[in-house]
């Protein structure tokens, strides 16, 4: 079965600094990969997704993620963080083999300091 690891539970960055959130997955084939963001008291918003093709994926709100097959990683990046980016970020994996059900990582809470 697939699994997802987000090794950082909390991350604090200064406003305007760059951000990278790590995500590693365990699955034999290439899965579908997603990043979602959850603001306090809100549902999940899809930031970006990777199915195939170009390994650098652009998303909303200035986020991007890079799929690296050799490292089984799908790290999320943003060149300049804004205070409004403070939220919890979830990496998720889906595969057609498992009926496209999603498995979520534990989440990374991002705090932005001014």
Partner 1 sequence: SAVISQKPSRDICQRGTSLTIQCQVDSQVTMMFWYRQQPGQSLTLIATANQGSEATYESGFVIDKFPISRPNLTFSTLTVSNMSPEDSSIYLCSAQYTSGGIVNTQYFGPGTRLTVL
CB of 14 to partner 1, least distance (A): 25
Location of structure tokens 């790590």 = 22
Q: Measured from the CB of residue 106, what is the shortest distance to partner 1 in angstroms?
A: 5
Q: How far is CA 36 from CA 28, 63, 70, 114, in A?
A: 23, 11, 23, 24
Nearer to partner 1, 28 or 41 (CB): 41
| Beta carbon nearer to partner 1, 51 or 83 | 51
- The contact set with partner 1 (CB under 8 A) reads 32, 34, 36, 41-46, 49, 51, 90, 94, 96, 99-107
Shortest approach of partner 1 to residue 44 CB, angstroms?
Answer: 4
Q: Nearer to partner 1 by C-beta: 31 or 81?
A: 31
Residue nearer to partner 1 on the CB measure, 15 or 30? 30
For residue 105, the minimal CB distance to partner 1 (Å) is 7
The HSE-up count of residue 2 (CA atoms within 13 Å, CB side) is 26
């Amino acid at each position: 079965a697939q699994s997802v690891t987000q090794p950082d539970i909390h991350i604090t960055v200064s406003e305007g600094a760059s951000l990278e959130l790590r995500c590693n997955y365990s699955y034999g084939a290439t899965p579908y990969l997603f990043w979602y963001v959850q603001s306090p008291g809100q549902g999940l918003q899809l930031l970006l997704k990777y199915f195939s093709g170009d390994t650098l994926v652009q998303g909303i709100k200035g986020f991007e993620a890079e799929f690296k097959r050799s490292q089984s990683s799908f790290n999320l990046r943003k060149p300049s963080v804004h205070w409004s980016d403070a939220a919890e970020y979830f990496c998720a994996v889906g595969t057609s083999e498992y009926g496209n059900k999603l498995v979520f990582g534990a989440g990374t809470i991002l705090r932005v300091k001014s």
